[in-house]
A = this chain, B = another copy of it.
Amino acid sequence: MDENALFTKLVSFTTSVHRVTQELSLNAKADSITPIQYNILEYVTVSQSVTPSEISDCLHMSMPNTSRELRKLIEKGLIEKIGDLGDRRKHYIRLSNEGETMMKEAFATIEYRFQARIQNASKEDLKEIDRALEILQTKLFY
């Protein structure tokens, strides 16, 4: 196995992934939030109950900027902040009902486009895709 060739393949692969995910999510998010705010909502949706510090770490943004964007999302009524009972410095962020509705809509749009993209795939193709996703997820993109 030529590892350099594998790297080249990876570069073109990740480029494709970025392009396709961008196409799938184009205009899926409400106009009332910025791209970064959407990223935060997406992260909160997937991870459920995270602290501002975790958001800061995982999305590679500074605490002050994280704090600002979380405040804006709270002002927009999309998330809620709950204090930790044990450690009163800590807070947990979770989606509000409104936030959940918004994210469900966004995901529905994206899923619709995804289904359109794989509508011509055979059952065997889908199985192969499923297996390939699993392999890469565990062995490369862990």
Which residues of A does B touch, CB under 8 Å?
A: 1, 3-4, 6-7, 9-22, 26, 42, 46, 58, 60, 107, 110-111, 114-115, 117-118, 121, 123, 125-137, 139-142
Q: Could you list some 5 contacts between A and B, CB below 8 A?
A: A1-B123, A7-B114, A9-B133, A22-B60, A132-B136
Main secondary structure of the interface of A (DSSP, over half): helix
Q: Known contacts being A3-B118, A11-B107, A127-B1, is A133 close to B133, with CB within 8 Å?
A: no
List residues of chain B with CB within 8 A of the CB of A17: 14, 17-18, 141
Query: How many copies make up the complex?
Result: 2
Question: Which residues of B have CB within 8 Å of A129?
Answer: 6, 135-136, 139-140
Q: Cα distance A75–B129 when bound, in Å?
A: 44
With beta carbons under 8 angstroms apart, the residue of B18, B126, B140 that contacts A3 is B126
> Which 4 residue pairs spanning A and B have beta carbons closest together?
A132-B132, A16-B141, A1-B126, A132-B135
Q: How far is the CB of A106 from chain B (nearest CB, A)?
A: 11
